[in-house]
Amino acid sequence: MKMLGIIGGLGPMATAYFLELIVRMTDAAKDQEHLPSVTFNLPDIPDRTAHVLDPSKESPVPRLTSAAKQLENLGCCCIAVPCVTSHCFYEELSASVNIPWLNAVEETAAMLKKLGVKKAGILATSGTIATGLFQNALDRAGIGWAIPEEQDKVMHLIYNNVKAGIAPEMELFYSVSEQLRAEGCEMLILGCTELSLIKRDRPIGPGYLDVLEVLARASVLQCEKPLLPAYELLGQHGTDSREI
């Protein structure tokens, strides 16, 4: 039996949705066929973007590595963190344990390549954008990319809407999306788990690849559970994954 370790709470609702996605993606006929997991819900971990943009602010790395080691000691076979900005510390974090730390950013680039995408738009936190996480992964995959001209709109959606429990201002979401489409982006990456919640709750249309879905898919496969055929390829549906 392979057990998944999850470091959650970054943010809490995204973690709850991640758990739901794992259940929905697994080809299981009864409870006992689903994926065992241990979740640490740690919303008090210091803000990742704040530290990336200002290193004088408290680092989330000590808390993340401590949680990872505990999950390893509990017998987990791999670790997933449903928070994209935490991947800014991937090298340091993955070196802290002897089990795989799933890389949602690399998995996303691989999925885009599988879909035949030539250019992708990146919707993510300013911390993720600043470190070039997606840009570098897409470069390695031979995929072009663009980032929003109005990044402040993306941050407003993430922090002042979704994280604050307020309905997203969809005119901002569509404004940024249209700008990236105008630059030739065939697919837009929902590169922050708060943006995944917008896709969950709003009919945003096709042409978006949800990193939270990518990470859930990778988790099921890494733990050697069967994947429902509808999830072999992602990014091809414009509605909530529950409708696939």
pLDDT (tens digit per residue) in 129-142:
999 999 999 999 99
Which strands, in side-by-side order, build the sheet including 187-190? 144-146, 119-123, 187-190, 208-210
Q: List the one residue out of 196, 170, 190, 192 whose CA is nearest residue 20.
A: 196
Neighbours of 166 (CB within 10 A): 10
pLDDT (tens digit per residue) in 137-163:
999 999 999 999 999 999 999 999 999
Topology, domain 104-211: Rossmann fold (3.40.50)
Quick one: average pLDDT of 74-97? 95
User: What's the burial of 72, exposed, middle or buried (CB within 10 Å: 0-12/13-18/19+)?
Assistant: middle
Asked if 192 is an active-site residue, the reply is yes
Contact 11, 163 (CB under 8 A): yes
Catalytic pick from 76, 83, 185, 223? 83
Q: Do the domains spanning 4-103+216-222 and 104-211 agree at the CATH topology level?
A: yes
Separation between Cα atoms, residue 131 and residue 140, nearest integer Å: 15
User: Position 243: which residue type?
Assistant: E
Tokens 């979401």, located at residue? 173
Quick one: average pLDDT of 165-181? 97
Asked if 83 is an active-site residue, the reply is yes
pLDDT recorded at residue 239:
41
DSSP single-letter state for residue 111: H
pLDDT recorded at residue 170:
97
Catalytic pick from 76, 78, 185, 192? 192
Quick one: average pLDDT of 12-27? 95
Domain range summary for the chain, segments of one domain joined by +: 4-103+216-222, 104-211
Topology, domain 4-103+216-222: Rossmann fold (3.40.50)
pLDDT recorded at residue 244:
40
pLDDT recorded at residue 105:
97
pLDDT recorded at residue 236:
65
Q: What percent of the chain has pLDDT over 70?
A: 96
Q: How high is the mean pLDDT of the chain? A: 94
Whether the per-residue pLDDT at 47 is higher than 80: the answer is yes
